[in-house]
């Protein structure tokens, strides 16, 4: 099982364009505990529950989460999946790339599939 995150271009009612996928990524659910420890579980897995609809709203939570992960690597790695499917070394780049996409496309619409 995994988490899929998506950023889509805003839809323009006037011209009918938009809604195209700008960014997507996938990560294992085995990283949920690490995300929780970093304070970004809801931002990643359940953004709708905390009112996140646009990429701009993810920027600060993801920045803080990446910073925590980097500064607390030993603590974060305690949440590595014992089966090897869900490791710190995969999660940090996932969050960093998602953050970069949010910065590049702040008006994009956020959605997830879990």
Q: What is the pLDDT of residue 13?
A: 73
| Contact present, 53 and 109 (Cβ < 8 Å) | yes
Q: With a cut of 80, say whether residue 12 has pLDDT above it.
A: no
Helical segments of the chain, H only: 32-37, 41-45, 59-71, 73-77, 88-104
- Averaged over 35-57, what is the pLDDT? 98
Helix (H, G, I), strand (E, B) or coil at 25: strand
Sequence ranges of the domains in the chain: 2-113
- Rg of the chain over all Cα atoms, to the nearest angstrom: 14
- Averaged over 33-53, what is the pLDDT? 98
| Contact present, 18 and 10 (Cβ < 8 Å) | yes
Helix (H, G, I), strand (E, B) or coil at 12: coil
Place of tokens 């939570």: 61
């Amino acid at each position: 099982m995994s988490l899929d995150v998506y950023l889509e271009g805003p839809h323009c009612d006037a011209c009918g364009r938009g809604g195209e996928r700008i960014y997507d990524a996938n990560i294992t659910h085995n990283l949920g505990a690490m995300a929780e420890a970093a304070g970004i579980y809801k931002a990643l897995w359940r953004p709708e529950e905390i009112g996140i609809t646009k990429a701009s709203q993810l920027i600060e939570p993801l920045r803080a989460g990446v910073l925590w992960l980097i500064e607390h690597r030993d603590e974060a790695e305690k949440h590595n999946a014992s089966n090897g499917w869900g490791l710190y070394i995969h999660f940090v780049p996932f969050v960093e790339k998602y953050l970069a996409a949010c910065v590049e496309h702040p008006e994009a619409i956020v959605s997830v599939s879990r």
